[in-house]
Structure 1
């Protein structure tokens, strides 16, 4: 009887540890500098066209990042050619200046919500691009070389429940 209970608990434990990760990809930035004209492109083909998914943008930064927020321009193109463009702002620090991202040492990683409960109804390749839109207060032109961002990632997860 004890073996049977242990086996059932083991099965539940394995199922609880299963990840809902559908896609994860990172692009490294040269010397931690993100140039304004460097648009990062990600391509993915969802395997499930019925389930809902969450999309995250993962940002790794080091201590040379001098801002408390991050402005991004994203573009997602579906296989049928429909394109959605967004300008987003993410907080990177608390009001006291401490990083919101996780990690030990000088590199912090922030998992930023992009979209939730998205169904990828069209089969084929989706194209996703990200560029930064940072500028200093009062400046007309944007920052040409954004220092302190080491990697940008795209992560897609199936929602745990239908």
Structure 2
């Protein structure tokens, strides 16, 4: 009986730790990439926002593996606001060290990178926002982008209340 109570107490404590660690999360979703990310494929996230006063931090989350062929990642991120205005950013992120080992968190060959998109930003309007994320990686010396970008398994978008 004592052993069952210990497991129950440990289970409850672990649950509290896992759920309380993410109090800042407002939105957090992922979409799978089917083997490789085509240059015209947009990953889309939509959410309702009712707060125009609080500061928020926004992130693009990337899960990639050892077959990712580059040290960096270029993305085009578009945010469609409720009033029809679209804001577009072209972003560059470092994805690997000089020796080629992947940056990010994870114990296996899959790493997760939490990449800054907006820091301490306010949403200007109440309503539905749509985020489109598209890869824009190019090989050195080539004008056209990579038709297929391998090594990325999922793309996510996260919003947190800013500290």
**For the superposition of Structure 1 and Structure 2, which TM-score range results when normalised by the shorter chain?**
0.7 to 0.9
Q: TM-score, normalised by structure 1?
A: 0.85
How far the C-alpha of 1:49 sits from its partner, in A, is 2.4
Count of aligned pairs: 146
Residues 97-143 of structure 1 show CA distances to partners (whole Å, capped at 9, x for unaligned) of: 22111101111000000101111131110011010011111112111
Q: Which residue of 2 aligns with 1:37?
A: 40
Q: 2-side partners of 1:24 and 1:47: how far apart?
A: 16
How far the C-alpha of 1:47 sits from its partner, in A, is 4.0
How far the C-alpha of 1:23 sits from its partner, in A, is 0.2
1:107 aligns with one of 110, 115, 121: 110
Q: TM-score, normalised by structure 2?
A: 0.84
Q: Which residue of 1 aligns with 2:150?
A: 147
Segments of 5+ residues of structure 2 without an aligned counterpart are 1-15
Is the counterpart of residue 26 in structure 1 residue 6 in structure 2?
A: no
Q: Which residue of 2 aligns with 1:129?
A: 132
Q: Which residue of 2 aligns with 1:46?
A: 49
Q: Give the aligned CA root-mean-square deviation in angstroms.
A: 1.6
How far the C-alpha of 1:17 sits from its partner, in A, is 4.2
